[in-house]
Structure 1
């Protein structure tokens, strides 16, 4: 059995199952009315910085925790540059909360495209997907996972790839992205305000300096607009708001994409 072990547990989030579960339970405890959620855009920094921003979106899954049987999780590669996208050969992704089974049906379907590489190397150190896994485990009932890491690919091509596997109401799409990086607090707030306005307008021309996962955001905006989905901003903060140095901050935002 091939299991992808956690790479950033103990650094980006707690490696104690008990403490991690307690933290997530506190963050996800606010009651929310059920919404026809189709996708999320959530940040991927260490939980001390961006965890609450992500949790504010994930908590909307709690009332519909039994709805989703599959999750497509998409994020940028931080360690490797390559053409196209990569999915893992692994059978499971592990976190301190347990193992998540990789969806072999969706993986096989996507692997038939020449732009898709099946490799564990790219996934092994990648944090942009890993930090989402405990949130998904705490928010949903049983589900399988299709992890997609992208590098050199256009948002249009990425959208087309996602479209081939994001086809039913039991499949949740999660896009992992932070916003601007390493500006002063005031500069970041200004840049991120403009970026969020562009996202709200379904502007699919975001660049990496506006969001490190710009390609993923552009792709989901493309798909959401084509399907007539709505977009709701849930929370915005930056690391200067959550305990970091205000001279070099990173921006974080979370969104719901829903059928109304």
Structure 2
């Protein structure tokens, strides 16, 4: 089903809560997070897995991904964003019918897609894709385009095929970002055990072993892992942490992953 075309600009829904609403502070905070990772020199991966909580919690983990994207500024022209629908009970997949997404740093152009149909409902109040946009603006510049797609209840092979089609449509200068957090509201020790098991399922390309209750973006995540397996890629862990490791308390934490999904190096 073709995407619904629109001239609507989607306003920020969580500025001032998940990240600063003041543009100068927002840019400074993101720059500091990326700079803290340090210069990264490695090939651009075809996809990355990145968390989506408030920046004070998941920002240091997300910055592991964005420091790598920043190293390829000017090369990446489009980013396909897949993630969950927290606020709206979605079955299947829905693109966002907006011409652009506004953040405190300006507008990000949205490239339409003919791969899946569009619906405003999963995107109006959703934070999982929105919080990636200011990071993208700082890491890749103002010319990057995005194709945001919410992934609801779906079969893993279907999501993997949709991801493949979205990337084929986007072209050679595109990258996939899969937005997900991991376990929610366990104590630090329990969360560490659960998240390590999930990370092992990701690293080992076993999407069926990623439990729905252990990743809020589970359908997008399973599809991304299945797509990686089908295309000869392998997820490489960049970071795995919880809110207790960054800014929270150890009694009730949320887990955050960062992975690069890349083709294995060919031995000389």
Which category of TM-score, normalised to the shorter sequence, fits these structures?
Answer: over 0.9
Match of 1:128 in 2: 128
- CA shift at 1:230, angstroms? 2.8
Match of 1:236 among 235, 240, 262: 240
Match status 1:184 vs 2:205: no
Match status 1:174 vs 2:182: no
Match of 1:252 in 2: 256
The 8 Å contact of residues 203 and 234 in structure 2, kept in 1 or not, is answered as no
Aligned length: 252
> 2-side partners of 1:37 and 1:169: how far apart?
12
Please show how residues 93-242 of structure 1 align to structure 2 within 5 Å: 93-104=101-112, 107=113, 109-111=114-116, 116=117, 118-141=118-141, 142-167=143-168, 168-205=171-208, 206-242=210-246
* 5+ residue gaps, structure 1: none
> Helix, strand or coil: the match of 2:167?
coil
> Scaled by the length of structure 1, what TM-score is found?
0.93
Match of 1:75 in 2: 83
> 1-side partners of 2:223 and 2:121: how far apart?
24
Residue by residue over 1:12-48, the C-alpha shift from the partner in whole angstroms, topping out at 9 and shown as x without a partner, is 0011110010111111121110313111100011111
Residue by residue over 1:164-207, the C-alpha shift from the partner in whole angstroms, topping out at 9 and shown as x without a partner, is 12124311100000000111111101111111111111111112
> Scaled by the length of structure 2, what TM-score is found?
0.91
Q: Which runs of 4+ in 1 moved over 6 A?
A: none
- CA shift at 1:82, angstroms? 2.5
